[in-house]
Structure formats: C-alpha cells, structure tokens
Amino acid sequence: MNIKKNSVGFECCFVLSFGDLSILEICLVLDYTLKEIKKMCDRIAVARIIAEIKRKNIYGIHKAAYPVFPLEKKQVLGEVLNKINLPMEDKMRVSLSAYCGIDERIHDSVLSEIISSIKEYGYTHIKYVRSKEAKSDFVMRKRVMDFVAYQDSGQVYLAPTRFIPDRSYIEEHSTGLKNYSTITISPRLARTLINIANPERNGVLLDPFCGTGTILIEAISMGIRCIGSDISEKRILQTRKNIESIIQSPGREYVKLYVADVKNLANKIQERSIRSIVTEPILLPSFKARPSKKTASELLARSSTLYSETISLADKILETGGTLAIVVPVVLTLDGGEVTIKLNTDGTRLSNLLHEKFKPSYPIRLPYESTRFVKRAIYIFKAA
C-alpha cells in the first residue's frame, strides 16, 4: 500500500463521497494528526493517522474503518474482533462493503470468513446484508456491524467501520426549505467545500451567487458568519425565507444579504476582509440528450464572464491565505467528449491549493453530484 509500516499511528480506510475532493478535505481537517494518505481507487483512500477520529466534521466521507489489516490469516481477524466493541446481545447484523475491484466471489468468501470468526465469540443468530455495499445510514439505523474491504495488487485488506459522520442535517436541510431546486449542490457537498475553504471556521464566508441559499445555510449551521449576494432580488428573498425556515435566531444574525451584481460587489465589501468564498456561479438545466459540442461551447461561453469576474472579486477581497472554492460545469457532448470552463488566475494573488500530503489535479472532477449530461468539477484557489 506504500504506507510505511514503521510509522507511528494506525492505518485508517476512508470511503470517499467525492473522490479527490474528499481526500483534500481529510488532509485539511485532520491536519497534523495525518501522517500520510494514499488513494487506492475512486472510493477508497488509506491514511496513517496518530489520533482517534473523534471530530464528526469530515463531511465528504461515508465511513472511516480501522484498523486496516491484510486478510491473510484467520487469527488476525480474531485479534481485530478482540479490539472492537461487539454488541452484548446474541443477535447481530453483519455487512461487508467491498471496493476497488473486489468481485462477488471474493466478497462472499470474505463475508463467510467474518461470520465464521464472529460465531466463535458465541453469537448464534447472525444476519448478513445481501449487498456489496452497506449504506452508512442503513448501518447506523439498523446497528449493523459493518466491515470495509478493498483490493490492492491482488491483496485483500479489511477494516471494521468505526466512524460514520452525522447525516441528520442532510434530510433536515433538504426537506425543510421553503424554496428548493433539484439541481443545486447537496448539503453534503456544500459542507465539504466549506470545510476545505475554511477548516478553522473563522472569518467571513461569501457566496456571491447564493441562489436559494444552500451554501449559506450550511455555513451558518457550522457557526460561520456569512455574506450572500445575487443579482436577482427574487433569489435573495428565497434565500431569506430558506434561512428563516432552517436557522433559528440568533443564528440568522450570522448573515448579510445583498442584491448585487458580482462585478459591483467589491464596492460593498472591504478589501481583503473575506476569509473564504464558496460558490457555484451557474446552474445548467438538465439536458434530455447530449448537446453538440458547438451548442455546449456557446452555452458556457455566455457564462465564462461570471467566472472571470468572480476571480477578480476574490483577488480584491480575500484575506491573505483566504480560499476560493468554485464549481464549474462539465457538459458531456454528442461526440463523446466534454466541454467545461477553464479558469485562469494569471496576474492575480490566486493559485491552486495543493496540500503537502496530497496534490490533486485541477479541476477536481466529482464522480457524483451531477445530472445525466452535466457533471461538476471544482477549483480551489489560495490567495497569497
């Protein structure tokens, strides 16, 4: 796995929600407790960390499983079971979530070995989940003893699930909105971007294209002061209503809202006073079929000015060390290709955010959070 065996700490397996974006969040949130990290496949990263994962504020993961061990000898599995808290009752639900090329045959074989080992502890009634991946909310709701397995260079590795981030806010903030769009980013993605842009949760966050307020609501819920703006007065009214329906006073005092065009917004905000900008300037409609490359290019060309104006704004108002997290659309075209908006920060204080333990390629493509023919990609810029 190229994780040093003689290093301090322990190996932890993360099930990723957003691929490389999730890994970047892990690096920034765990900070000095993270010694190294390696991406095994789009769904799995393995890290060596030196402290238990007690903070429940890594939003871009589904699960964390540890300790990680190679499935070579049965007694190793027994040793791991000795270290975790098995339920006291004699009934148990067991699941095996498999990733990185583990096929059904290997899955069933490993699951059989887990069940056999657990039975040696006196459990007489064991139910197993008939799925290659047990969803995290199901694991929590049904109190399932879940294991994560992945494959690397022909070797199967196994780890018991020990940590699942709180998901309650997702349903609360989706169903509780007065105005909701099915194509806006999810609360989970919003929080992941906020965590990356402002892991210390200090200063002020700006969303200059706030729409109906998804990003602002998550930032306020995380205790961050916010400014939201939109060129549409209707959208600002919708944002205000959504905030009032979700956020209890005095939390509403954490936000200021403006009706403003992004190119004039710098007149309302003090220079270098914003800690982070998290935004998605345009939401493209769902396509019924792949558009031609010409149609997609023309559509994005009309929106490219918004992105250059946002970069110019960030250059003026971000603090030194401040962060811009910005979403760009990726349109899948009729010829099998794709069209996106490439961002250029030449001549500004902004440069790609690269972590010493993980350096993603930009833009970061999201494996999920998309409609059928429109995907999302992310740029993260740091201000010098």
Band (pLDDT 50/70/90 cuts) for residue 178 is: low
> Is the Cβ–Cβ distance between 68 and 46 less than 8 Å?
yes
User: In the chain, pLDDT over 90 holds for what percent of residues?
Assistant: 68
- pLDDT tens profile 263-306: 999 999 999 999 999 999 998 888 889 999 999 999 999 899 99
Long-range contacts of 174-178 (CB under 8 A, 24+ apart): 176/245, 176/246, 177/212, 177/242, 177/245, 177/246, 178/238, 178/241, 178/242, 178/244, 178/245
11 Cβ neighbours under 8 A, 6+ residues apart:
1, 3, 46, 47, 48, 66, 67, 68, 159
In this prediction, residue 2 carries a pLDDT of 47
- State pLDDT tens for residues 91-131: 788 999 999 999 999 999 999 888 888 888 777 788 898 89
User: 106: which residues sit within 8 A by CB, 6+ positions away?
Assistant: 98, 149, 151, 156
For residues 194-221, give the mean pLDDT. 95
Distance CA 87, CA 167 (A): 23
Please state the pTM of the whole predicted model. Answer: 0.93
Q: Give whole-number Cα distances, 90 to 110, 134, 162, 164, 373, in Å.
A: 22, 21, 20, 24, 49
pLDDT (mean) for 219-242:
94
Q: Please report the pLDDT score of residue 5 as a whole number.
A: 45
List of domains in the chain: 10-163 (3.30.2130.30), 168-383 (3.40.50.150)
Task: Determine the pLDDT at residue 63.
Answer: 95
Tokens of 86: 């098995």
Mean pLDDT over the full length of the chain: 89
